Chains A and B, each alone.
Chain A
Amino acid sequence: MDFSKVALDDGQAAFAREVGEFFAARVTPDVLDAEERSGDGFCEPLHLAMGERGWLLDTWPETDGGAGLGPVEHRLLVLGKERTGLPFITLDTTRLVAEAVRRHAPEESRRRLMLDAARGTVRFCLGYTEPEGGSDVAAAATRAVRDGDGWVVDGAKMFTTGAHNCQYAFTITRTNPGVRKHKGLTMLLVPLDAPGVSVSPVRTFGGERTNIVYFGGVRVPDSLRIGPVDGGWGVLHDRLDVEHGLGADAAALALDPPSVRTGYATLLARCVDAVHEWSLGDDGRAVAADDLRYRLGRVAIEAEAALSAPGHYGRVAASRALIDGTARLMELLGQDVLLGAEGPAAVPLAERAHRFAQGTAIYGGTLEVFRNIIAEQDLKLPRPSYPA
């Protein structure tokens, strides 16, 4: 057990300063406003500037376009990104797919895609969910049919976040309808500028912009197939986090938070801090009534518990804490300030977080899907029987 602050050597301390200055200079109020309006989860100049430093695929070696960062520097970079408060959705999806490319793309396209992704000129989004449903990923109906040295793709993908800023959609296609659903899937990188692709915006009340993408007779060369034909399920279930490559030494340092979704809990903790700040007088003494302090305390506790939750438990804990906690903070801040009366700076932060929170129960696998996983994998409860 160890929760100590990590002691930085001189090089690491200098790197930490570099990261701080890099983001402070580029994440200006204009950038934040633009993100708030667009809901893109993407800022091209920032993305390209990171690419110039090898910071997009930062743990890859420099020869592959990365910066060869070690585990400590990598964490410093991640924390620097998180501190900006910007969502880096397209960067996250690009990193995931880039790792799949590195492991599974054919020789003729692999190197170029890796280098371009690392530089920032090629971005990837995820084409998993379809209009008919996302939880049952293996039921994908988008067809890819062999045609000479390539494929012809027909179908539609829903919630293809970032597609309008990306060059390729990492797409689950059905290549063999005659076998069990998991066995007939193939992963293709569908070029988003190819004839037959259309991308239309879909907005959420959390502020995000996502898309619906239609494929009508889209030709995809076989060099953009990622992994074996009909072997898409295996590619999807390969652990595709780039950090995985840092190996056992990095794991032993235990620098990563216990779950991949502690970011939701961190967001809640920041809202708690902001509301707490508001509850204090200028001299730092508590001014709020016990009633308000009690309600704030309850949310603070949920945030800390969610920050501690490991693995897929953390996905459920952090999303639930954020949804419930921000709702309680909305009540606590008072209805008049929500309706526009003069109010503290905490209001817009918490109000946005409250809307954003609802989506966290859905993407990346819904809460119900994760409860199923906990029930089956951790509690070893018997699986429900599904007809298909």
Chain B
Amino acid sequence: MDRFELRRHDYSLSGEQRQLISVLRDFLSAHCPPDVVRAAGPLGYDPALWDRLGELGLARMGLPAALGGAGASLVDLVLVAEELGRAAAPVPFADHAAASRLLSRYRPLAAPQADWDEPIGFGVREPGARGHLIPGGAVTRSAIVLAGPPAGPVGSLELWRGGQPAPAELPLSGLPAAWWACPGDRSVLATGDEAVRAHGRARTEWKLLTAATLIGLAGTGLAGAVEFAKTRYTRGVPVGTLQGISHPLADIATALVSGRHLLYRATWMLENEPGTRPDLAPAACAFAARATADALETAVHVQGGLGFTLESDVSLYFLRARGLIAAGGDPGRDVLEVVDGLDAIRRAEPASRGAGTETKTR
């Protein structure tokens, strides 16, 4: 890989993107304060909030105009997911965005228009003993899964409707996950390599959107901890003046800014130059998972005993983040995929050896 190629490093948001964020942020601060998140209970779903977001156009944002969508880019969807994460909004946005985009490629007109507004679940991982884990599957009536012989190579991308999913509960995580084993009704969207490829792309989209949700959650956790550190006093000084408090906060701020930027770059590359940097999307996801967990641990700890109570807002974010990370499966897999991506880049290079033999100094 040529690390010295002349590329742009433009992380800035367009005027429209800034506008989108500010509308959404205003909306969520009015309609999704922490008590709404709490009221969504262990299921972590607020159907009224979902409908309201649908009225703003969020449910169809990533769909083509023919389906009433806005044809939003994946980068735009990532920005939306980050805002939803910031508010810990109890809605299955990542599932729905990934699944509905996938579905729209195979069923552009089959479903009645209204269906696109209803949340669709997405089976992000291979099936296990209890079936397919659908992160939002406890509150969706349909889901897309990659089914097929358990060990065989042939996949079958299917739309499942109306099964009787079994709840998959991580204590206090507010993750509306369920195991879907047998659908009431199944229709095949694609088979074989095509199914595996299409599912893989949607899976990457789900992971990027979830990484964005995590970064948003962690950002709110950090902001709360910073506020606390400004106003909590010990021995006559705000605890935030103590470097045992301020330096860990500076480090998590650093990790979150880095993670957000990496996520933007990975998403942009996937969308605009798929194949150039296959290592970046899994890198962004693995980094976000770890940075979020670290950040929320710190944010809890900075607030002393209060951070550990169920009443604290940070406990909500802490538990929710753990649920979302679990939904995506072992983040260690992402780490290995990063190296698979490096392999692919290396294979695509001409016969001359890469960076390893370039020059021998620092």
Contacts and interface: CB of A to CB of B under 8 A. Distances in A.
A183 interface: no
A5 B6 contact: yes
Contact of A313 (B253, B332, B357, B361): B253
Interface in B333-353: 335-340, 342-343, 346-347, 353
B210 to A, nearest CB: 16
A254 B356 contact: no
Interface string B212-226: 000000000000001
Contact of B3 (A72, A266, A379): A266
B290 to A, nearest CB: 8
Interface in B268-301: 268-269, 272-273, 279-280, 283-284, 286-287, 291
Contact of B246 (A309, A313, A375): A375
B143 to A, nearest CB: 30
B359 A27 contact: yes
Given A3-B9, A382-B240, A300 B283 contact: yes
B254 A379 contact: no
Contact of A4 (B7, B238, B250): B7
Contact of A308 (B251, B261, B337, B343): B261
Interface residues of B, number: 71
Interface in B14-72: 14, 17
A317 interface: yes
Main secondary structure on B side of the interface with A: helix
Contacts of A83: 4, 358-359
Interface stretch (A95-103, A105-113, A278-286): A278-286
Interface in A163-182: none
Interface stretch (A121-129, A223-231, A347-355): A347-355
A84 B358 CA distance: 9
B12 interface: yes
A276 interface: yes
A383 B229 CA distance: 12
B241 A381 contact: yes
B346 to A, nearest CB: 6
B342 A309 contact: no
B5 interface: yes
A284 B338 contact: no
Question: Which bracket fits the contact residues of A?
Answer: 35 or more
Contacts of A275: 356
B335 A298 contact: yes
B11 A258 contact: yes
B235 interface: no
Given A3-B265, A304-B283, A87 B362 contact: yes
Contact of A76 (B6, B13, B264, B286): B6
Contacts of A79: 4-6
Nearest to A357: B362
A75 interface: yes
Contacts of B284: 304
Chain A CB within 10 A, most for which of B241, B250, B357? B250
Interface stretch (A61-69, A139-147, A210-218, A366-374): A366-374
A374 B254 CA distance: 8
14 contacts: A3-B265, A3-B268, A269-B3, A276-B339, A276-B346, A284-B346, A293-B339, A296-B339, A304-B262, A308-B265, A370-B250, A374-B254, A379-B226, A381-B230
Interface of B: 1, 3-14, 17, 75, 226, 229-230, 237-238, 240-243, 246-247, 249-251, 253-255, 257-259, 261-262, 264-265, 268-269, 272-273, 279-280, 283-284, 286-287, 291, 332, 335-340, 342-343, 346-347, 353-362
